[in-house]
Amino acid sequence: MGADDEFDDDIAPLPAYERDWRHPAEVHHEARLRHSVEAAPPPIGRRFAMVVGMVSLAVSFSLLLVTVPKGLSSTSAEVPSPPTTVQVPAKGAGPAENPYPRAFAVDGGVLVMDARHARDGRQTVMVGDGRRISATHIVTFSEHCMAALSSEAAQPGEGAPDSTRWSDLDSDEFAYLGSEGMLHVVDGSARRIPARLGLSMDTTDGWLPLDTDGLLDGVGVIETADGETVGYAMRCAHETWAIRYADLVQLVSDARGARP
């Protein structure tokens, strides 16, 4: 063997177990097999697959029972529809509610009512005993939602629940009783609502703010603890207003005098 035998190309390569290095061609198959094993999802056992299938089937059957209350075995029987009844009103029968607005008789044939139900000219109103009378419009106090009408058929005190006595208190007495909480209002639903006059007592037209423990239904009659009527009240624009009996009569008289 000469000096160049170490680099002889005819020498066979060493086997893999006799060298520390590996040619890429030798490790390609092993690396590919390891990658395919690691990337594959873990195998599912047959028993586990059977349990999952049974659970899914049970859930599906439960949902079917909920959505179809009669179950799968019931037949589609016809459900009789309830009989249709037609309410035919009796001949001449009126509506359930009274179509005529309620009015309160003051004095001298004067009535007061909610201005929202009043109209110009003549109209039919209902008074305290349920009678229907014809009345003529006099004036509407639009800022206080109250209207005054006149009728020869009106009787004083008619329409004021539990009160036919009138007391013409002067303004000082009215203000004292109101500030001391000694007044109450009887509204259109015959409710007795405690009331007291508001803080502002300055007025040029007789109307005073009124604080009540509840909302009024229509025009209210202001009474004393003795049941004497001393004025009227009306809910308007989220406020409640009171007017003394004598002031209301004067306002109506002025309106009558101003009419042509």
Give the model's pLDDT for residue 163. Answer: 44
Give percent of the chain with pLDDT exceeding 90. 9
What tokens appear for 206 in the block?
Answer: 């007789």
pLDDT at position 192 over 80: yes
Domains of the chain: 103-150 (no CATH), 171-258 (2.40.10)
Q: Which residues pair with 207 in a beta bridge?
A: 243
Rg for the chain, CA atoms, rounded: 48
- In 47-120 the beta strands, taken as DSSP E runs, fall at 103-105, 110-114
| Number of continuous H segments (helices) and E segments (strands) in the chain | 4, 11
- The whole-number pLDDT of residue 136 equals 92
Look at residue 46 in the predicted model and tell me its pLDDT: 73
Q: How high is the pLDDT of residue 179?
A: 80
CA distance 230 to 164: 11
Q: Both tokens of residue 178?
A: 């109101």
pLDDT value, residue 102 = 86
pLDDT in tens, 128-179: 778 899 999 999 999 899 999 998 877 655 554 444 556 677 778 887 888 8
Q: Which two tokens stand for residue 85?
A: 């009844």
In tens, the pLDDT along 108-142 reads 788 899 999 999 999 999 887 788 999 999 999 99
Q: How many residues does the chain have?
A: 260
